[in-house]
Structure formats: C-alpha cells, structure tokens
Amino acid sequence: MRLHRQGKIAALLTVEGGDFLAGDASYLDTAFADGVRAITLVHYHPNELGDNQMAPPRSRLTAFGREVVRGMDRLGMVMARATLPGPLGSSLPSPASTKAGSP
C-alpha cells in the first residue's frame, strides 16, 4: 500500500511448486537471495514437499515439506497454500491463501 500511495509499482516474486528445491532446503536461502519471497509448495502434482488437492492424501506435507515451511518462516517468506489439501497442523506457521476460489 505504501508503494501504491507513492505511485510506484511492486511485485512479489513467487515460485509455483517447490520442486526446484530438489530435496535440499538450503536452496531456500539461494532463492531468497535471488528475490523469491513466496513459494507455492506443490502445484500440478505431488512432490517431495507433499500432496496437492488432486491426489489421494498421504500425509499432506512430508517431513521435508515441514522442514521447508520452517525455513521459509525463518526467512520471512510467504507460504502459498492454494493447492495443499486440508489443515497443516498447529506446529507450522500460518499459510497465505493466494488464489481466490481454491479449496
């Protein structure tokens, strides 16, 4: 809002799907340094982080997915939950709902 009032344009760089992490949570630091501020953990298909809303749920987020969420919280990144099924559990930071109309 502050930038809008100043007549400036801003964007939030977001990655759709955490597949780029390739099983290594340290890539979060690289992504953050490169300007990424939000990640949709899963997108079209389940990945190492968890299930999406179209797949039969295993356990929603995997252990690696929970590690990534904690790393994102440490960095102050937005966790976009649009395609994750069900609740994440009370021990994880609150996600952002980033797509209108998503379950």
Q: Domain residues of the chain, as ranges?
A: 11-80
Those residues of the chain that have pLDDT short of 50 are: 102-103
Global pTM exceeds 0.95: no
What does the alpha-carbon distance between residue 95 and residue 72 come to, in Å, rounded to a whole number?
11
pLDDT at 102: 46
| Per-residue model confidence (pLDDT) at position 91 | 54
> Which residues fall within 8 angstroms of residue 26, CB to CB, at 6 or more apart?
none
Q: Measured between alpha carbons, how far is 74 from 70 in angstroms, rounded to an integer?
A: 6
